[in-house]
Structure 1
Amino acid sequence: MFLIAIARPRFDSDGNEVFSGNIGIFPFVTDEPAKRSSVNRRAGTLETSPITSVGRDMRRISLFSKVLPAIMLKWPLNDMNKLIYIQQDNAKVHIHPNDEKFRLAVSQSSLNIQLFCQPPNSSDLNVLDLGFFSAIQTL
């Protein structure tokens, strides 16, 4: 499972791209030491394995530790004072838009970020899903 953060690209008055809109792709994985030796590696070598169940706390941690720093690093300087919306679908594991821990983390950054859920029966996120999956299939 991945958490993908993208935005609309920004262009200057000449049509040159100033911000691509790519913020990051963050996998839900852990690094654990191998329990036994094999032909490919010795015991104790770190192995990357997927996290099979991602809950609300895991999503909150990934937003705080990965997405917010990536936004702060890559966001265009001339748009720093504008409102940034983080849109998520209506899955139950997503954090609530009024989450106090999220508001505290955002208040410590220099950005104005609000979290909201996708409206019911909206095709906004489906277009992103379809575009992302078709891009992967072409690779």
Structure 2
Amino acid sequence: MGVSQSTVFRWKKKKLIRKHTNAIKPHLSDNNKVDRLIYSPSCTLNSMTNTFKFTDMSNIVQIDEKFFYITKEQQTYYLSPGEIEPHREIQSKRFIPNIIFMCAIAQHIFGTNGEVIFDEKIRIFPFTSQVPAQRKSKNKENGVLETKPIQSITKQHIRAMLIDNILPTIREKGPTHKSKTIFI
């Protein structure tokens, strides 16, 4: 804007300027738009009566993966008087490690009296592995199992996550009332 910070602060206080946060929106190609148009009626079309009606999604489980950085480069703390400042270290400030999670959720299921039978949360699973420590240090002995994030997630990792973790958990905790067929 080409003005000093104090001027910007005064303008903000007088509400001559305002704060705005802008999120990036995904660009939809023509194929994406057509796919959305095809998918939407498939969820609302009742094939028996050929009428549009919202489909019961109680037998659909949605999964998604998300990655988080293990820590931020700069962290704000509020310390009480006499409290020691926390000491944080990582190998490199430019390459902060991240960990990837896969989450499974489904629609709420309510009983006849309005009580919650199923609360939508199935579970969240981290992509980690147990690796024995290669060297002895002051913090651990040689051979002690450490939990490490998997750095590169492949098709085999996702398949193993689905078969070993997500599907058994859906069978155990998932929505089971009308249909035994569950779509992921």
Same fold (TM over 0.5): yes
Task: Give per-residue Cα distances to partners, 1:33-77, cap 9 Å, x unaligned.
Answer: 111111111111100000011111111111011111000001243
Name the counterpart of 1:70. 169
SS of the residue 2:182 aligns to? strand
Name the counterpart of 2:133. 34
Name the counterpart of 2:153. 54
Structure with the higher helix share, 1 or 2: 1
Q: In terms of Rg, which structure is larger? A: 2
Name the counterpart of 1:85. 183
Q: Equivalent of 1:7, from 93, 106, 109?
A: 106
- AA at the equivalent of 1:57: Q
Total equivalences in the alignment: 85
Runs of 4+ more than 3 Å apart: none
Provide the C-alpha distance between the structure 1 equivalents of 2:182 and 2:140, rounded to a whole number of angstroms. Answer: 45
Instruction: Give me the TM-score of the superposition, normalised by structure 2.
Output: 0.44
Name the counterpart of 2:65. none
Provide the C-alpha distance between the structure 2 equivalents of 1:8 and 1:25, rounded to a whole number of angstroms. Answer: 16
SS of the residue 1:67 aligns to? helix
Name the counterpart of 1:103. none
Provide the C-alpha distance between the structure 2 equivalents of 1:42 and 1:80, rounded to a whole number of angstroms. Answer: 51
Provide the C-alpha distance between the structure 2 equivalents of 1:79 and 1:45, rounded to a whole number of angstroms. Answer: 47
Provide the C-alpha distance between the structure 1 equivalents of 2:155 and 2:114, rounded to a whole number of angstroms. Answer: 40
SS of the residue 1:5 aligns to? strand
Instruction: Give me the TM-score of the superposition, normalised by structure 1.
Output: 0.57
Where structure 1 has 5 or more consecutive residues not aligned to the other structure, the ranges are 87-139
Task: Answer yes or no: is the 8 Å Cα contact 2:106–2:175 preserved in 1.
Answer: no
- AA at the equivalent of 1:40: N
Where structure 2 has 5 or more consecutive residues not aligned to the other structure, the ranges are 1-99
- AA at the equivalent of 2:183: Y
Name the counterpart of 2:36. none
Identity rate, percent = 39
- AA at the equivalent of 1:21: E
CA RMSD of aligned residues (A): 1.3
